[in-house]
Amino acid sequence: MPGKNPSSVAALSPDELTLRAELEANVQHLAGEIGERNIAHYRQLDAAAEFIERSFSSASLQPRRQTYELQGRACHNLEVEIRGVRPQVILVGAHYDSVSGSPGANDNASGVAALLALARRFAAKPAGQTLRFVAFVNEEPPYFQTEQMGSLVYARRCKARGEEISAMISLETIGYFSDAPRSQVYPSPGLGLFYPTIGNFIGFVGNVPSRALVRRAVGLFREQEKIPAEGAALPSFVSGVGWSDQWSFWQCGYPAIMVTDTAPFRYPYYHMSSDTPAKLDYDRFALVVSGMEKVISELAK
């Protein structure tokens, strides 16, 4: 992948310290105060949706709901758009539901907190391409990779409307890092021959048709020398490669990548009741989000 990784983690700037506090507060609200949020805990799922809408509105953005029914309940994808001068769309997304039995701090309050922070920072900065920030519902089992998955409902609507999405970025489980030896494993043993065995990096993962987007995003991120980044464009059947909302956009022919700390291949609390806000590394989490702001800005030019 283009560029070199930094030899150490960057110190947080004053703006990144502010971002850190913002991310921690949002994760705490979603996972610590609201807690488990899914169809079985519908009141909490709805509370998370309302929190996301309020957060968008507080940034002077106009949230819109895409609603569909599941088990007699109204489920909402939530979007805001910052119109650019060109019709192409860069879409940044994260799912806000949590798996059964888990408060979902890293999976995926971390992604939602990043989504809200990024939307706030771009609200007053129109770009060349249109920017769209979307919070998806029903990513977790039993709806994962089914007709009821929120991002698949959304992506199919985009396709039916003929929308030109030049890049979709899924923010998925992005808050945990470790400097311990052998803290990073992979779905295929052979990958450990080419990628680090220490879980101190952020990953950019795409399918083979999205390889140009993977390379571009990793190169832009590495230029900032914040924390290490690794990228992989792999066949979608490799375990883990399609484990988030980017999968839905692949089904509709759009280039899409997942930005991730690699979830179960690193995070010991994945899909557990112990996935709580205190487990996250908010310094490195903030550096990831700060780096993604630059990546998105450059992609949108």
What value does the mean pLDDT take over residues 25-38? Answer: 98
7 pLDDT higher than 90: no
Q: Which of 88-97, 121-130, 215-224 has the lowest mean pLDDT?
A: 121-130
Please name the amino acid found at residue 64: R
Query: Would strands 86-95 and 256-260 be described as parallel, antiparallel, or unpaired?
Result: unpaired
Give this prediction's pTM: 0.97
Q: What is the per-residue pLDDT across 15-30, written as a single tens digit (0 to 9) for each?
A: 999 999 999 999 999 9
**pLDDT score for 273:** 98
The single residue listed with the structure tokens 């007053």 is: 124
Domains of the chain: 14-300 (3.40.630.10)
| Residues of the chain above pLDDT 90, percent | 93
Adjacent-strand bridge partners of 168: 91, 256
Distance of CA 201 to the CA centre of its chain: 15
**pLDDT score for 155:** 98
**What whole-number distance in Å separates Cα of residue 62 and Cα of residue 268?**
37
Contact 23, 285 (CB under 8 A): yes
Q: Which of 85-99, 133-147, 183-197, 273-287 has the lowest mean pLDDT?
A: 183-197
How many residues in the chain? Answer: 301
**What whole-number distance in Å separates Cα of residue 9 and Cα of residue 177?**
11
**pLDDT score for 2:** 82
The string of DSSP codes covering the chain is --S---SSPPPPPHHHHHHHHHHHHHHIIIIIII---BTTBHHHHHHHHHHHHHHHHHTT---EEEEEEETTEEEEEEEEEE--SEEEEEEEEEE----TT---IIIIIHHHHHHHHHHHHHTT---SEEEEEEEES--STTSTTSTT-HHHHHHHHHHHTT--EEEEEEEES------STT----SSGGGGGTS-SS--SEEEEE-GGGHHHHHHHHHHHHHT-SS-EEEEE--TTSTTTT-STHHHHHHTT--EEEEES-GGGT-TTTTSTT--GGGS-HHHHHHHHHHHHHHHHHHH-
Q: Which of 6-15, 55-64, 125-134, 150-159 has the lowest mean pLDDT?
A: 125-134
> pLDDT-derived band of residue 126, with 50, 70 and 90 as boundaries?
confident
**pLDDT score for 8:** 87
90 pLDDT higher than 80: yes
**What whole-number distance in Å separates Cα of residue 66 and Cα of residue 136?**
10
What value does the mean pLDDT take over residues 54-77? Answer: 97
> pLDDT-derived band of residue 56, with 50, 70 and 90 as boundaries?
very high
Query: Would strands 165-172 and 73-82 be described as parallel, antiparallel, or unpaired?
Result: unpaired
